[in-house]
Amino acid sequence: ANTSLAGHDVSVIGLGNMGAAIANCLMRAGAKVTVWNRTSSKTEEVVGQGAIPASSTSACIAASPITIICLLSNAVAQRVLSDVADLSTRTIVNLTNGSPGQVRQVAALLQGHKGARYLHGAIMVPPMLLGQPTSMTLVSGSSDAFHACTPVLSALGAPRHVGEDIARAPLLDNALLSLMGGMFEGWVQALAIAQRGGVDGVDFAMGLAGPFVKAAADWLPRIAEHVRDEKYKGGSPLTMQLEALDNIAATGEELGVRVLLGSLRDVMERAVRQGKGEESIAGLVPLLTREKE
């Protein structure tokens, strides 16, 4: 992203694949970057690129008004922050993936530290794509804190404030990652079928699968409208879709390919058994939520 951070001090805790990419984006934008990582070899690598090493997490956080945390899990983030005695006047931007509940627990650690602020963010691109104008980061927490951090976050791409509720970004992150997980489940299945059937995977991706997924993106708002309006009938019926899923299984069987998509089949079958065979895919949404009530 085209941002100048000259004169900005930023700290980064966690120099895994993503944390190192974050530190590099910040340095490229001109920030003075202080870093800490549990394994020192990774610190040395980033220091070689211009960062300043901190001797401890406390020293790292003390070095800059804004600290970005990007760790394996929020349990680790909690442990790291619990070890820091003074977080007052510091702003912590935690970009570690986690559930809404986990994120609330991390946010609670800043309570009682005078003037401390907490934002939670979800980076929606892999490390190699960080820093592009289109690289989206969802951020939740106070608007004031978000505006204060916008120049720093803009060095990572396009930050988007999604609400004051700290749990909003992890909620949306997990919803989007569900979509990605489902898409990748389908994609590895599709590639295995295509490959086993003698079709070149790259040709298949470029010529058919890519355009098909782009066209399918247009269906998403329509399905969401049907869910919102509780209009479950009128689309492709679940009885037909269940048959189509069974045909994927039959194709897999014929080609010697293991078939995924099992949970989708389970919930569809349950819907049909409950007399919802004429409903469309939208009808599965209330079924999923009702089953947890």
* Cα(26)–Cα(18) distance, integer angstroms: 12
Contact 89, 117 (CB under 8 A): no
| Given 4, 17, 49, 178, the residue binding ligand FVH (CB under 6 A) | 17
First to last CA, the chain: 44
What is the smallest separation between the CB atom of 242 and ligand FVH, expressed in angstroms? 34
38 binds ligand FVH per the rule CB under 6 A: yes
In the set 3, 11, 24, 37, which binds ligand FVH (CB under 6 A)? 37
- The token pair that represents 262 in the structure block: 């099992």
Residue 116 contacts ligand FVH per CB under 6 A: no
Among 125, 123, 3, CA closest to 68 = 123
Tell me which stretch binds ligand FVH (CB under 6 A): 9-17, 27-35, 48-56, 157-165: 9-17
Give the distance from CA 272 to its chain's centroid: 33
Closest C-alpha among 58, 19, 24 to residue 39: 19
Q: Does 12 bind ligand FVH (CB under 6 A)?
A: no
Instruction: Tell me: does residue 126 bind ligand FVH (CB under 6 A).
Output: yes
Binding segment for ligand FVH (CB under 6 A), chosen from 66-74, 103-111, 139-147, 162-170, is 66-74
Residues in the chain: 293
Q: Is 76 in the site for ligand FVH (CB under 6 A)?
A: yes
Does 96 sit near ligand FVH (CB under 6 A)? yes
What's the CA gap between 156 and 263, in Å, rounded? 36
Query: What's the closest the beta carbon of residue 173 comes to ligand FVH, in angstroms?
Result: 8
Q: For residues 147, 131, 126 and 54, what is the CA-based torsion angle, rounded to 10 degrees?
A: -70
Listed in sequence order, the residues at least 6 apart from 235 whose beta carbon sits closer than 8 Å to its beta carbon are 223, 226, 280, 281, 282
- Shortest Å, Cβ 39 to ligand FVH: 3
127 touches ligand FVH (CB under 6 A): yes
CB 159 to ligand FVH: min, Å:
14
Contact residue for ligand FVH among 4, 49, 72, 236 (CB under 6 A): 72
* Phi and psi at residue 279, to the nearest 5°: -75, 165
C-beta nearest to ligand FVH: residue: 16
- Please give the residue ranges that form the binding site for ligand FVH (CB under 6 A): 14-19, 37-39, 42, 70-72, 76, 96-97, 123, 126-127
